[in-house]
Amino acid sequence: MLVIASPGQGAQKPGFLAPWLDIDSVAEYAGSLGEAAGVDIVKHGTVSDADTIRDTAIAQPLLVASSLIVHSVLFGALDVPRPDFYAGHSVGEVAAAGLSGALTETDAMEFVRDRSKAMAEAAAAEKTGMVAIVGGAREDVLAKIEAAGAVPANINGAAQVVAAGSIAQLETLRENPPAKARVIPLQVAGAFHSPYMAQAREALAARVSDYSVRQPQIPVISNADGAVVREGQAFLNSIVTQVAHTVDWLACMRTFEAEGVTGILELAPAGTLTGLVKRDAKALARFDLNTPDQLDAARDFVREHAGQAPKEA
């Protein structure tokens, strides 16, 4: 069984889309996705520098567009079976909504446009931040985060948690770290996936009816709790809630194991999620699809692991 995964914000790298845009009609497709989001995907995926694509309002649409683009090329071969599940980390779930059919590609790009702008506005309202906590016992890590008044924003693995909060809360956490753990400041615009994003969540919730939601053709494994979601509106509601709520990628990995997943293919820019799988779900085979010259091998990987019958792309 196979899961296709879409990475979250921070995975982007300057020029990472350039080789994909050399494929016939892909640049035109990227342009249409960019029009829906109000972002120049071609420019930002090829020539924009790291500081430019770090901007939340650019990074999020760029990453969703990348998943849609690379997925369309990968499954352009009609003999390639579809995956058994989709999953994504944070904004990667918006890509998963578009890939699974819960949202149209246009709606996915419009949704991420609205999401990124709402989160950027919420981040600008108050000075907040995030820190990564690497190592330590999970219970102690969570207790130290709570004691500092911060919240766990990302549970990325058994030994990697990202905390979010005010600058004062994060400083308290750095001064009182969990035993046998490192607290590492992250270069982010604000306290994503925390109560500081409440206004962004409310802004998105007010617009949920603007998007055409359908039943996903393939189920999605949710960041909320690792649940397998087969109902489109429930998944969209979960993505809205996720903006101000913990992203639990560890729960997703536990579901991969429980559902009998044997392989995970991460779409470009790949490597972050498969890296977490390597540490916490070691039995799963992994494939990082970053460049078109990997397509033959990627399709072989899909054929080896996907449990469903072939379907048209």
- The residues annotated with a catalytic role in the active site are 90, 193
Closest by CA position to 210, among listed 36, 35, 60, 88: 36
Torsion of CA 103, 239, 281, 313, to 10 degrees: 0
Q: Phi, psi (5° rounding) for residue 25?
A: 70, -5
> Is the peptide bond prior to 292 cis by the omega test (within 30 degrees of 0)?
no
Closest by CA position to 208, among listed 116, 122, 121, 107: 107
Q: How far apart are CA 204 and CA 119, in angstroms?
A: 10
Residues paired with residue 220 on neighbouring β-strands, in sequence order: 86, 229
